[in-house]
Amino acid sequence: MANSLLKEGKYANRAASDSQSDPYRQYMRVVDCYELSPPAGNVIALDKCIKVDRAFAALCEQNVRAGLIWDASLGKMTSIVTLTDFLAYLRDDASKCSSTEIGELASCNGLVSVSADAKVFEACEEFCLHRVHRIIVREPQSGDILYLLTIKRVLQAIHKQMDKRVIRGIYLYEFKLGTTAKEADEKINAAFGQGCSTIRTAYRWNQKFRNGDESLEEHECRGRHSDVDEDKLRDVVEEDPHKGTREIAKNRSLHFAQWLSTPIRNSGVGTWETKIHTVSQDDCLSDVVEKLLGHKLSSLPVVDSNGHATDVITKADLAMALMEVNGPQTFLSDTTVAKVLGRRPPAVFIRPSDPVGKLLDAILEALHMRCVFIVDEHRKPIACVSQSDVISHLIYDDAPFQKPPKSPS
């Protein structure tokens, strides 16, 4: 349904109607994909003739979840292989890992790419249209592959930009209090850590405000007023005059996308069902793999005997464990969930009353997790929100995070 609407342009028109007011959408419409390139990113290229076991080990050693397949006869990358492909193969035919070529595994996984000068919004449309988590970003003229852009990278970049706007809002607030640029710089660095503000930046914004420009954009917008909610900012400070700058910035009501303060249960994002698929600590890993692959999931909440969520198990957890064993199928059938947990910090769970901003923080800080599970007052999983849910909601919904979800059919 979403794909057909996108092709007809109906969703695009709806999104455009609100693009001038939502700062996340504004950011996606003006920033090129090139600006999101990682400073030291690397693309893992695997010759299609490499055996499956060696290719799997290469991805795990590099701590990445996907690699591109190189076809020497064609002189180009032809497909992509992911941890999901490896898990499916290990489940069905692990005995041939050392004899099967990786090209056979990834033959049906086509490549999705965008030019580096394409806007981030266009890249997000490709994510949603093709139902993928990563796309290739190419150099505009040569077509060379620059890096793999992920949904998580997009969300991290947008969220970070909004945090910068909060710091700029504090610059403005300090300016209106009569604080000097030097004092504002010192206060922000004391609260956030050295390097979050520089004296040069503080002076530049101070001068900008003195010239009557209160916008918080990098470009010149003379005469525009800031979209900071000064009353809320003042209330937060006056509530506790000794409150530090860090505490002020963490208050989500001060963010420029006001839906960040919306309770998750009222946001209209995510999967809310009467039953979320779960596993117990005593379940064998082969059952976990079946659920992950059978329901096309990236992770599952782990519950105790009372159904209370204790952690989450992901495809990445399974991959790291499998890398250390010689007999994958035996390992999967003989090993329980409890044996592979504990290699990373426990997963964070969210309550329905928590704001969308807290959910975004959790989903972007979690290592190798694409979704966050929502639990009730008894810690029983009742819903989940994925990175894909968030990005499609931002792109297509006419009022992001502002309406309750529909009841499951």
- Dist CA 65 CA 150 (whole Å): 11
Instruction: Identify whether 163 is part of a domain.
Output: no
The pLDDT tens digits of the residues spanning 318-377 come to 988 887 777 788 888 899 999 999 888 889 999 999 988 889 889 888 877 889 999 999
Identify the three-state secondary structure at position 69: strand
Residue 85 lies in a domain: yes
In a domain, residue 128? The reply is: yes
Classify residue 390: in a domain, yes or no.
Answer: yes
Give the residue from 123, 151, 179 where a domain finishes: 151
In a domain, 74, yes or no: yes
**End-of-domain residue from the set 101, 135, 151:** 151
Residue 55: inside a domain, yes or no?
yes
Measured distance CA(36)–CA(148) in Å, rounded: 10
pLDDT of residue 91: 76
Q: Is this structure's pTM higher than 0.85?
A: no
Look up residue 22 and give its amino acid: D
**193 belongs to a structural domain:** no
Average pLDDT for runs of 10 along the chain of length 409: 38 42 74 84 84 84 85 89 84 68 73 94 94 93 92 86 70 83 81 68 89 72 42 52 52 55 86 86 94 92 94 90 80 91 88 90 84 94 93 82 54
Question: What CATH number does the domain containing 37 carry?
Answer: 3.10.580.10
- From the list 240, 216, 242, 219, the residue with the least C-alpha distance to 229 is 216
Distances (CA, A) of 15 to 2, 106, 118, 395: 13, 34, 18, 6
Note whether residue 5 is domain-resident. Answer: no
Tens-digit pLDDT profile for residues 189-245:
765 555 667 888 889 998 998 898 887 766 543 333 444 444 555 455 545 545 555
The tokens describing 269, both together, are 């994002």
pLDDT at residue number 88: 83
> What range defines the domain where residue 304 resides?
265-396
CA–CA distance from 387 to each of 146, 239, 317, 327 (Å)? Answer: 23, 35, 18, 33
Tell me which of 151, 175, 207 is where a domain ends.
151
Q: Per the structure, how many domains does the chain have?
A: 2
| pLDDT number for residue 118 | 95
Residue 127 and residue 151 in contact, taking contact as beta carbons nearer than 8 Å: yes
